[in-house]
Structure 1
Amino acid sequence: MRCLELLSPARNKEIGIAAIDCGADAVYIAGPNFGARKDAGNSFEDIALLCEYAHKFGARVFVTFNISIRDDEVEELHHQMLQAQEAGADAFIVRDERIFEMKDITVPLHASTQCAIRDADRARHFEEIGSARIVLERELSLKTIRQICDSVNCEVEFFVHGALCVCYSGECRLSEYLNGRSADRGECIQACRSLYDLEDAEGNILVKNKALLSLKDYNLYSRLEELAEVGVISFKIEGRLKNASYVKNVVRAYSMALDDIVARHPDKYRRASLGVVRGGFEPNLEKTFNRGYTELFIDGKRGQWSSMNAPKSMGEEIGSVAGVRSTGRGTVDITVKLRKHDIRLVNGDGFAFVSGGKITGFRGDKCEGTHIFAKSCDGLRKGTILFRNISAEFERMVENQLPRRELHASIYVQISGEYTLEISVASEDGREVRSTFRADVDSATDRERATAMLREQLSKRSGHYAFNVRDIDICTKGGDIPLLSASTINSIRRLLASDLDDIPCKAIPLALGKRLSEPSQDSTSLDAYKESYINAHEPAIGVKEPLMLSKYCIRYELGMCPRQRAESLGSSKRTVFSNDKQLFLRNNGKRLALHFDCTRCEMRVEKDLLHLKSD
C-alpha cells in the first residue's frame, strides 16, 4: 500500500498548525536562514513547537536549507541543521550536495526542486548520493514524470498548486542581474511579474507595458489520481509567503481530494499521516489568491500559460460598472451590473479592475445590493469590467468555521468488585494504555441509565482524541455498577488522553535514502566538504549561462511561434520557420535578448551584449 502525502507550506508556526488541522500530512518551513524565501524565517523554538503539534497526528515537519551556500557559510549551515534536527525536524529539503556528506545529519534529505531535476539521469544522480526523496521540476509532462518515477527507488514529490516561476527551477539569474538580489539566495524580486515592452532589433515596440514573463498559477486539483498512478507520493503546495487563509483553503480542498482517492482505492492507497478532519468551512479554490489557473505542461502540450494582462490576483468577474457617482470627501458610489443574479456583495469585499494596462484594487467600505461605496479610484468608469479578488464573507467563514482533526481511540471497560474499573484504550496508530480506577461510590439504582451515561461520557473528544466505547464488561455481583457523576467520568476520559500523550505517536516511517540505509564508512570533515564542492552555476552575469531558461515561450503566447504558423498552413512536416526577428524585452532602461530553441521548445532570456556595448 502506498502512502499519499499532502505537503503544505508554512510561513510560520501558526500557519503550519493551521495546515495540519486542515488535513496536511506534512509541512515545510524555513529556519532562521538558508531557506529559498528569505522573508519567511523562523526560530528553532517555533519549529520545535510546530514539530510537537504535528507529531501528535503522525504528521511531519520538513525544514528547508535550499539556497546556494557560500564556502564561508558551511559551518553555520551545519550548526543550524543540527539545531533543526534537535528541534524535531523530520527531514531537510536541500540543494547543496555537500550536505549529503555530513555524517551527523541523521534525518532524511530531500533534493529540492532547486536541484533542477527534470530527467531520469538527474533523478538517479540525487538518489545515488543519498536523497530519500526528489522534488521534481514543475514544467514536466505526466509521461516524463512516469519515466523518472520508474527510474528511481526513492520517493518522488511534485508541486500541484500555487505560483509558478516562469523558468526552470534553479535556472533563474534574472533577479540578480536586474537588482543584485539572487533568487538562488532566497532574495528573488519576482522580476517575472514586472512590466516589459517587447521590441525588435530596430527598436520597434511590438507589445507595450505587459507582464510578458508572468505565468498563471498551477492547479492540478483534478489530476492528483493520475499523478499517484505514475508514482508521485507527495503532492506539494507552493506558498511559503502566503497567509493563513490561503493555506487553510488550499490545504482543505486538496486534502478532501486525496481522501476521495483513498476512499475509492482503499487497498491501494492510504494517507501518510493519521486522524480525520471533520467539519469546518467548505473550501473553494476560486475564492483564494490566484492569477488564473493552468495545468502547464502536464499533458505534454502547450497552452495559454501567461497572465501577462493580470500578474496579480484578479479573482472572479462579477460584472461591469454601470455608473460612478461622487458622494463627496473623496468617496464614490459605484453601481454594478452583476453578471449573475446570485452574486452578493458584502462590506469589506476587495475589487480589482484593469485601466491603462495596470491593475487597480480597492476595498468596498460598504456594499448595498448593487452599490459599492468606496474611496475614489482613478480609471474607474462606466463599462469597466469589475472583479472581486477578496470575498469578505468567505474570509470570515475560513477564519471562524475551523475544521477539527481527531485521532480515533477505542475504549474497553471492565467493572468488577465494589467497584474497580479496568479501562484499556487503543489509538488508531497502535498505542495502548491500561488504567485502573477505584470508585468508592454507591451503586446505581438504574443500571441501564448509568451504563448509558458511562458510555456516552467516555465516547467524547478529549484533546485531539475522539474516544469510542467498544465494550463495557460488567463482572460484579448481581450486575451492579457504580453511580458515577458526569464530571467524574469526564476526568477519567481526560486522564486516558493524557496517558496516550505520554507515548509517542506511531507515525508511518519516512524513507531514509541510501546515505542512511546504506551508510558509507568514510568520514569527511567540514573542511573537506568545502574543498570538494564544485558550484553548479556560473555567476549571474556570466556569459556561459542564460539569465533564464524556460519551457514558456513568449512567441507562442503571442501567436508568433514558427511551429504554430507551420501548422496553420497545414504543413504535415511541421516545418520550423527561421527566426523572422530578433526579439528583446525592455524594462527600466535594461534590454534583455530572447533566444528560442525550437528543437527543444525552450526560451532563453539573456543579457543583450550589443546593447550593453552601445551603452
Structure 2
Amino acid sequence: MKALELLAPARTADIGIAAIDCGADAVYIAGPAFGARQAAGNSIEDIARLCEYARRYGVRIYATVNTLLEPEERPLAQKLVQDLEKAGVDALIVQDPAVLSMSDSLIMHASTQCALRTPEKARGLESLGFGRLVLERELSLEQIKAISEAVHTEIEFFVHGALCVCYSGQCYLSEYLTGRSANRGACAQPCRSLYDLEDAEGKVLIKNKPLLSLKDYNLYHRLEDLAKAGVSSFKIEGRLKGESYVRNVVKAYSEALDRLVARFPDEYCRASFGRVSGGFTPDLNKTFNRGYTELFLDGKRGQWAAEGGGEYVGKVKRLTPAGFILDPASPDIKLCNGDGFTFEGGGVRADIAEGYTVQCKKVDTLKEGTRLYRNISTAFEKQLEAAKPVREIPVQLSVEINGSILVKALSEDGRAASIQLEKPVDIARDAEKMVQNINMQLGKRSGHYSFSVRSLAVKGDMPFMTASFLNGIRRDLAEQLDQLPVQARPLYRGVRQPDSSFRLEYRNNGELMRTKYCIRYQLGLCPRQGKVKKAEPLFLRNGKERLQLTFNCAECEMTVTAS
C-alpha cells in the first residue's frame, strides 16, 4: 500500500504545530542557518519542540539545509547537521552534495534546487544516496511518471503555493541585480518587480508591469493524477507565510487526500496517524494568492502571468475622494475593515468598510468598472483563529466483564494497552442503561486520543459502574499509550553507489534565468500563434537595468541575460 504524505511548510515551530493539527503528515522547517529562506530560521530548541509534538502522530520533520556551501562553512554545517539529528529530525532537504557525508543516519532528500527535470538526472541523484527527489514544478504528468519509473526513491512534488518563474536552483537574477543569491537563501524576488517591455529599437510595448510574476500553483483537483504518476509526497510552498495561510491550505489538501484514500482504500493510506475534526471550513480562494494555475501539468501552455486572485466580489461602481463604492457580485458579499483586494494593475487594502463603501489609500490604476477580487478576508482570518480543528488518534476498545473487568485498547498506529480491575460488587439495576453508559463514558476523548468501544462481552450479572470509575479506565489507558512510541511509517533510505561518478554542476553560462514561461506566448506574440514569423529578442527595463529576453522555440523556453 502506498502512503501519501502531505508536506507542509513552517516558518516557525508554532506554525509547524498548527500544520500538524490541520492534517499535515510531515513538516519542513529551517534551522538557524543554511536554509534557502534566510528569513525563516529557527533555533534547535524550537525544532526539538516541534519534533516532540510531531511524534504523537507519527508525523515526520524535515530540516532544510539547502543552500550551496562555501568551503569554510562546511564545519559549521557539519555541527548544524549533528544538532538537527539530536533534535529529532527525520531527514534533511539538501542541495549541496557535501551535506550527504555529514550524517550516516539521517535520510537525505534532494532539494528542488537541484533542478531535477529528467530521468537521467534522477538516476544520478539516486546514485549519490538520496532517498527522495523533489522535482521541478515545470513538469508534465508524463515527465513526472517517467522520472518516477526510472528510480526507486520517493518522489516529492509541489502542489500549491508561489511559483518561481525560472527553473529552481538556476536563477541568478537576484544575485546579478542586488548581490543577494537565491542559492544562498537571500533571493530578493526580482521576478515580482515591475518592468517595461521594449523591442530591439527601444520602443515600449508594455509599461510598469510585473512581467516575470506568475500565478500561484494549485493542484487541488489533480492529486489522484499525481499519485498515479508516482508522487508520494505532496508539498505545499510557503516557509515565509503566516499561520492562517498554512492552516487553511493544509486543511484543504488534507481533506482532499482523505477523500482520495477513502476512494482507493486498498491502494493508498495516509503517511501519518490521527483524524482531524471540527474547526473552520477551508477555502483556498480566501487565502492570499495571485490567481491560480496548474502550469505545465498537462503538457500545455496557458496564461500563467499573475493576475488578481481570490474571491470575486464585484466591480468598482464609483470612485470617491476617500476610496470607492463596490457594486457587489451578489448580496451575500460582506466587506470588513482590513479586507485586501486585487485587480488588474494593482491591489489595495480596505482601511474602513461600511456596507459597500470602502475607504482606502488612493491607487491610480483603480478605475470605475474595475473587477475586484478579495484575497485577504478579515472575517475568514477570524474564523481560522477562533475555530481551530482537533487532531486525535482513534483508539478501539474491547471490554470483557466476567469475574473481573478487562479493557483492551488498540490505537490506529498499532499500540496496545490494557487494564484489568476487580468487578464492583453492586449490580446494575438497568443492564441496558449500563451498557449505554459504558459506551458513552469510555467512548470519549482523553488527551489526543479518541476512544470508541468496538466490542462488549458480559458473562454473569452486569455490575454498576460510576462515570468516574469508567473515566478513570479511559484516562489510565491514555497514559499507557503515551508511554509507548508511535511507530511512524518508514521512509525510503537511499543507498550511495560507491562507483557513482555523477556530479551536480551549477553553471549559468551567462544566463540569469531559464524558464518555461514565455512572455511572447503570454502576449500572443509567439510564432506558433501566427502573429509573428520569428521570435526576435525583447528587453525588460527596470530603472537603469536592461535585461534581454531570448526565445528558444525548439525547446519552448525563454532565457534572461544581461543586455
Task: Bin the TM-score by the shorter chain.
Answer: over 0.9
User: Is residue 2:500 matched to residue 1:502?
Assistant: no
- Aligned pairs for 1:136-155 within 5 A: 136-155=135-154
Aligned to 2:554: 599
- Aligned pairs for 1:305-454 within 5 A: 305-307=304-306, 310=307, 314-326=309-321, 332=322, 334-353=324-343, 357=345, 359-368=346-355, 370-372=356-358, 374-379=359-364, 382-417=368-403, 420-438=404-422, 442-454=426-438
Aligned to 2:23: 23
- Cα gap change, 1:483 to 1:259, in 2 (>3 Å): closer
- Whole-Å separation in 2 of the counterparts to 1:498 and 1:402: 25
- Whole-Å separation in 1 of the counterparts to 2:342 and 2:552: 37
Aligned to 1:556: 521
User: Is residue 2:479 matched to residue 1:479?
Assistant: no
Shift of 1:89: 0.7
Query: Between Structure 1 and Structure 2, whose CA radius of gyration is higher?
Result: 1
Asked if structure 2 preserves the Cα contact closer than 8 Å seen for 1:346 and 1:367, the reply is yes
- Cα gap change, 1:607 to 1:461, in 2 (>3 Å): same
DSSP-derived class of the 2:315 partner: strand
- Whole-Å separation in 1 of the counterparts to 2:250 and 2:135: 20
- Cα gap change, 1:205 to 1:348, in 2 (>3 Å): closer
Output the TM-score relative to the length of structure 1: 0.87
Aligned to 2:61: 61
Residue identity opposite 1:559 in structure 2: G
Q: Deviations over 1:138-188 (max 9, x none)?
A: 111111111111111111111111110000000100001100111001111
Asked if structure 1 preserves the Cα contact closer than 8 Å seen for 2:124 and 2:502, the reply is no
Q: Deviations over 1:345-396 (max 9, x none)?
A: 2344333455xx4x2412242432x333x24534355434333222222222
- Kindly report the root-mean-square deviation, in angstroms, between the aligned alpha carbons of the 2 structures: 2.3
- Aligned pairs for 1:171-186 within 5 A: 171-186=170-185
- Whole-Å separation in 1 of the counterparts to 2:269 and 2:223: 14
Corresponding residue pairs, total: 562
Shift of 1:248: 1.2
Asked if structure 2 preserves the Cα contact closer than 8 Å seen for 1:98 and 1:533, the reply is no
- Whole-Å separation in 2 of the counterparts to 1:378 and 1:207: 19
Q: Deviations over 1:530-579 (max 9, x none)?
A: xx9987324xxx7x2411111111111112212222xx69xxxxxxx444
- Whole-Å separation in 2 of the counterparts to 1:421 and 1:81: 50
User: Is residue 2:512 matched to residue 1:547?
Assistant: yes
User: Is residue 2:6 matched to residue 1:11?
Assistant: no
- Whole-Å separation in 2 of the counterparts to 1:149 and 1:9: 24
Asked if structure 2 preserves the Cα contact closer than 8 Å seen for 1:181 and 1:189, the reply is yes
Residue identity opposite 1:452 in structure 2: Q
- Whole-Å separation in 2 of the counterparts to 1:251 and 1:414: 40
Q: Deviations over 1:463-516 (max 9, x none)?
A: 1111112233345xx5141432x233223211211110110112111111114x
- Whole-Å separation in 2 of the counterparts to 1:446 and 1:149: 61
Residue identity opposite 2:195 in structure 1: Y
- Cα gap change, 1:426 to 1:585, in 2 (>3 Å): same
Asked if structure 2 preserves the Cα contact closer than 8 Å seen for 1:429 and 1:505, the reply is yes
Q: Deviations over 1:226-247 (max 9, x none)?
A: 1111111111111111111111
- Whole-Å separation in 2 of the counterparts to 1:513 and 1:260: 31
- Whole-Å separation in 1 of the counterparts to 2:270 and 2:504: 38
Asked if structure 2 preserves the Cα contact closer than 8 Å seen for 1:81 and 1:105, the reply is no
Aligned to 2:77: 77
- Whole-Å separation in 2 of the counterparts to 1:393 and 1:286: 13
Asked if structure 2 preserves the Cα contact closer than 8 Å seen for 1:82 and 1:105, the reply is no
- Whole-Å separation in 2 of the counterparts to 1:521 and 1:601: 36
Shift of 1:314: 4.5
Q: Which moved more, 1:341-350 or 1:116-125?
A: 341-350
Aligned to 1:262: 261
Residue identity opposite 1:204 in structure 2: K
DSSP-derived class of the 2:223 partner: helix
- Cα gap change, 1:229 to 1:376, in 2 (>3 Å): closer
- Whole-Å separation in 2 of the counterparts to 1:80 and 1:385: 50
- Cα gap change, 1:436 to 1:128, in 2 (>3 Å): same
Aligned to 2:537: 582
Q: Which moved more, 1:275-284 or 1:332-341?
A: 332-341
DSSP-derived class of the 1:479 partner: coil
Asked if structure 1 preserves the Cα contact closer than 8 Å seen for 2:13 and 2:50, the reply is yes
Residue identity opposite 1:336 in structure 2: L
Output the TM-score relative to the length of structure 2: 0.94
- Aligned pairs for 1:99-138 within 5 A: 99-102=99-102, 104-138=103-137
Asked if structure 1 preserves the Cα contact closer than 8 Å seen for 2:540 and 2:549, the reply is yes
Aligned to 1:304: 303
Q: Deviations over 1:248-276 (max 9, x none)?
A: 11111111111121111111111111122
- Cα gap change, 1:349 to 1:269, in 2 (>3 Å): same
- Whole-Å separation in 2 of the counterparts to 1:82 and 1:4: 29
User: Is residue 2:440 matched to residue 1:456?
Assistant: yes
- Cα gap change, 1:186 to 1:441, in 2 (>3 Å): farther
- Whole-Å separation in 2 of the counterparts to 1:607 and 1:377: 35
Q: Deviations over 1:581-605 (max 9, x none)?
A: 4321111201111111111111111
- Cα gap change, 1:376 to 1:132, in 2 (>3 Å): closer
Can you give the 5+ residue segments of structure 2 that lack an aligned partner in the other structure? none
Aligned to 1:276: 275
DSSP-derived class of the 2:511 partner: coil
- Whole-Å separation in 2 of the counterparts to 1:584 and 1:126: 36
Asked if structure 2 preserves the Cα contact closer than 8 Å seen for 1:362 and 1:377, the reply is no
- Cα gap change, 1:350 to 1:451, in 2 (>3 Å): same
- Whole-Å separation in 2 of the counterparts to 1:551 and 1:558: 15
Asked if structure 2 preserves the Cα contact closer than 8 Å seen for 1:279 and 1:404, the reply is yes
Aligned to 1:247: 246
Q: Deviations over 1:414-461 (max 9, x none)?
A: 3444xx433221111111112233566644444433343233111111
- Whole-Å separation in 2 of the counterparts to 1:226 and 1:521: 36
- Cα gap change, 1:562 to 1:375, in 2 (>3 Å): closer
Residue identity opposite 2:166 in structure 1: C
- Cα gap change, 1:170 to 1:202, in 2 (>3 Å): same
- Whole-Å separation in 1 of the counterparts to 2:58 and 2:463: 38
Give the fraction of aligned pairs with identical amino acids, expressed as a percent.
Answer: 52
DSSP-derived class of the 2:42 partner: coil
Q: Deviations over 1:69-116 (max 9, x none)?
A: 1111111111111111111111111011122223x3412111000001
